[in-house]
Structure formats: structure tokens, C-alpha cells
Amino acid sequence: MNLLIFGPPGAGKGTQSALIAKQFNIKHISTGDLFRENIKKGTPLGVEAQGYMNRGALVPDDVTVKMLEGALAANDKQGFILDGFPRTIDQAKVLGAMLTNRKVKLDCVLVLTVETKMIVERLSGRRVCQKCGEVFHITARPPSKPGICDKCGSDQLIQRPDDKAEVITKRLDTFWAQTAPVKKFYEEMDLVREIDGTGSESQVFMKIQDALRETQ
């Protein structure tokens, strides 16, 4: 199964992708996570991406597309859920060509909808383990021991630099200006299943599973 998850920053794409990947034994490919890994390792790609990410802008297509192509090549045998790509119509067209070349079909585009006030609450309360990348939220998903990662035991739970209030506003502007039109692109291909992203993680996951059952 090959899926794409789409929605504004903080809609819950990463959270739901992890659940979907586990349930259906497919790979979670997140361009945001791939950039963050490169930043952590200090690669040239990470150095280039960091400035764009920290100001809420999109990383240029040449860099992003090459990185995505590598990740797809490594994972398209098992099936995947793509999170964070495409973010522009141009990226959507490039993805279409890549998948056609690889003889891979996209089964469904899950579109998560969440209102802006809730997005801001989710992003401003998100904490991420700097060591293993596990995601928490100060109220919705707090760690069992305050300040300690449940997964790896690290005490480095930090706020993402792009989750600061001023950058959240920029990211939302970028989403509405450049990324939102991608939804229509996939609606025209009759691939979109819209999911109300409000409610608990497990409630949203149930809605996603219902939608996927209907597409099979």
C-alpha cells in the first residue's frame, strides 16, 4: 500500500504516519525528518536546509527532490506513507513522474483538517527528543517522567526551532500560499480522503482506518 498524508503543520501527520506505518507494515518517509537527520549529522544538505526551515520557508526543490528520490528508491518495495512531500504543485508533478518511472501507484491521499487555533496549541506544546526523535506534547502526550524520553531515557526533550510562535505563523502562511493547492491536484485524480484531525490520536487513527477500508 502506498499512501500520502497531507495537511497543515501540526495537523498530526507525523503522529498518524507512525501509527499507519506500524499497522500496515509500510515505511514512513518524512521529508521533515530526513532534513532534521541531516541537520543533526551536519551534512551539507542539512546545513543548506536549516536556514529555510528555521524561518518557516520551503527548502528549494532541487535539494528536496533528490533526497526524496533516494528515500523512495530504498522503500518502494515494501510500500510507504509519504509525509511532508509534495508541498508544491511542481513537487506533486515530479512525484507523479517518479512513481510512474518506478511503476508504483499511489493508493490514497489522506488529508487531515484541523483548525488554526488547535494547530498553534499542538505545535507550541510539542517537545521532541533530541536523541531519538520521539515526539511528545506537554498536555496531550506528556512523557511518563517529566522531561525524560519514554523511548530512550534521554533528558533532552526540546522545542523544535520552527515551533516558536513567530515561525509557526510563517509556516502557516507558507502552507496556505504554496502547499494547500496540492490538495486540488489530488482531488482531480480522485485520490483524496478527507479526515477530521480533531479528537485524540486514537480517535483520528480510527477515522483513518475507516477511510482506508473504504478505498480497498
How does 49-58 read in b/e, with b if 16+ C-beta sit within 10 Å?
bbebbeebbb
CA distance 34 to 64: 10
Binding-residue total with ligand AP5 (CB under 6 A): 35
- Among the listed residues 27, 28, 87, 207, the single contact to ligand AP5 using CB under 6 A: 87
Reduce the DSSP state of residue 125 to 3 states and report it: coil
- Among the listed residues 89, 140, 180, 211, the single contact to ligand AP5 using CB under 6 A: 140
Instruction: Say if CB 209 and CB 201 are below 8 A apart.
Output: no
28 binds ligand AP5 (CB under 6 A): no
Closest-CA residue to 60 (of 99, 39, 88, 81): 88
Q: Catalytic residue among 55, 131, 141, 160, which?
A: 160
Please report how close the Cβ of residue 163 comes to ligand AP5 at its closest, in angstroms.
Answer: 7
- Among the listed residues 131, 141, 183, 193, the single contact to ligand AP5 using CB under 6 A: 141
110: β partners: 5, 193
32 binds ligand AP5 (CB under 6 A): yes
CA distance 70 to 151: 28
Any catalytic annotation for residue 36?
no
Any catalytic annotation for residue 122?
no
Reduce the DSSP state of residue 18 to 3 states and report it: helix
Any catalytic annotation for residue 126?
yes
Nearer to ligand AP5, 9 or 81 (CB): 9
Residue type, 126: R
Question: Backbone phi, then psi, for 192, in 5-degree steps?
Answer: -80, 135
Nearer to ligand AP5, 117 or 216 (CB): 117
Question: Backbone phi, then psi, for 95, in 5-degree steps?
Answer: -60, -45
Nearer to ligand AP5, 35 or 186 (CB): 35
Please report how close the Cβ of residue 102 comes to ligand AP5 at its closest, in angstroms.
Answer: 18
Residue positions annotated with a catalytic role: 13, 87, 126, 160, 171
Contacting residues toward ligand AP5, per CB under 6 A: 7, 9-15, 30-32, 35, 52-53, 56-59, 64, 84-85, 87, 91, 122-123, 126, 135, 137, 140-141, 162, 171, 200-201, 204
